[in-house]
Amino acid sequence: MSIIKKHTRNKDQFLDKGGVNQSTAADVKSAVDLKHLQNSDTSLDNGQPNQVTSAELRTHVDDVTIHRIINDAGLAVTDLWSADKISTEISNAIDANNELDELIDVTITAVVDNEILGFNSGSGEWINQTPAELGLSEIGHTHVATDITDFDTEVGNHPDVTANTTARHTQNSDTKLDEGNANEVTAAAIRNILDTSIVTISTEQIANFTATKNALIPVDVTTIPITVTPPATPVTGDIFGIVDSRFNAQTNNITVDFTTATQNLYAASNNWIINIDGGYVEFIYINSTIGWVAKK
């Protein structure tokens, strides 16, 4: 009832009757007609300082340098792609460039076995070439023995092998063994070691045991064979001796087990067996390479 009373007045043409800023119904209708009932290509915001005609608005919207429409089929610089189209094109480009020669700085032609990529500074590209074309020498490369037709002959003929063999095995005087190595031992040092004597006689043993350094150990094998383990953590000059004290080693052997102790005997994994009645032996430790040697 109040709305009808406000807007369908037949006599009193004022809205907000009695108010300070009152407007007539005629004023409102005039404003609506001005803004919204354009019958031709007249001005928008007619009468306002920044008025724009509908023709001007159409020209602006149609300007492709300012407004572009989505055109997934287009390839012109002014064409605009959707997000889906962009994603698809990127994915296709990645899938297509899975070959080396698809890279912009790689050129591959007439590929043969064992070729590798080398950089050509003249063209600024990587190209496929043989090792020889790249100037790579076979000397200095690592090979397994089966790569060499006659491995033993080639190694034996190598000058470094010949020189080392001569230095190690053809000593004419009191020169060094393992010459040039950090753990070198002179012939004189070995002589001094071999001249070392046992200083202690231990208790006679009747079962398996570990030998004591610098001691002679009598072993009774009257009833059973016995295994002797060499002293642990030996150092150069260590010595020990074993003797068949009851003259039965031919029947029941005495075995000095260097193998189980992971100690060398004469530079290899060997054991020593006393199998002669009354047998006697002394061992002396040279170094980790040679290990133990029999003194007597």
For the record, the structure tokens of 176 come out as 């060094």
Residue with tokens 């040039």: 180
- 3 state DSSP class of 62: coil
The DSSP output letter for 170 is -
- 87 confidence band (pLDDT: 50, 70, 90): confident
Of the candidate CATH numbers 2.60.40.10, 1.10.3720.10, 1.20.1260.10, 2.60.120.640, the domain formed by 191-294 belongs to 2.60.120.640
Residue-wise pLDDT for 209-254, tens only, equals: 999 999 999 999 999 999 999 999 999 999 999 999 999 999 999 9
Residue intervals of the chain classified under CATH 2.60.120.640 are 191-294
DSSP 5: H
**pLDDT band of 290, cuts 50, 70, 90:** very high
The mean pLDDT of the chain is 75
Structure tokens at 67: 């407004």
Residue 148 CA, chain-centre distance (Å), reads 29
Amino acid identity at 268: A
Residue 107 main-chain phi, psi, to 5 deg: -125, 120
Q: CA 211, 198, 226 angle in degrees (round to 5)? A: 30
Tell me how far the alpha carbon of residue 123 is from its chain's centroid. 33
Q: Does this model's pTM top 0.85?
A: no
